[in-house]
Amino acid sequence: MSVVEEYARAHILTDGDRPDEDDGGAIPVVLRYDPQLDPSMVCVALPGKDGRAARSREWTFSRALLEQGLRAPAGSGEVRVWPCGRVQAVVEFHSPQGCSVVQFENKALIRFLRRTYAETAQPVAH
């Protein structure tokens, strides 16, 4: 089994986290799955406020939570996920430094989840 890593564009919805560039709040996000570490967890890495990958902030949480949040509000604690219309999802990340709310296109998250399940040969339930 190998690591699945996918890059996606997302939109920051929280004012304090918006990038300086005027690109509508779009940021590059890294979605990572390492079945060797824990086959039930995924990692989302947001760039630091200055856009540097070296200062990225990462959250590791249940792959099932990400999948459930595409259909209905899910989560508690540090990570919450809920659908936003028919084609987007919102992920809310909490840390001691505050809260970051990020909007993704569903297709990017679904593509990532499919790749993680293909890596572990488990079917995706939809």
* pLDDT tens digits along 12-37: 887 555 555 555 668 899 999 999 99
Q: pTM for this one?
A: 0.84
- Which tens digits make up the pLDDT trace of 94-117? 988 888 899 999 999 999 999 999
**Which of the four pLDDT bands, split at 50, 70 and 90, describes residue 49?**
low
- Angle 9-33-25 (CA atoms, 0-180°, nearest 5)? 15
In this prediction, residue 113 carries a pLDDT of 96
Looking at per-residue confidence, does 84 or 1 come out higher?
Answer: 84
> Alpha-carbon distance 9 to 61, whole Å?
19
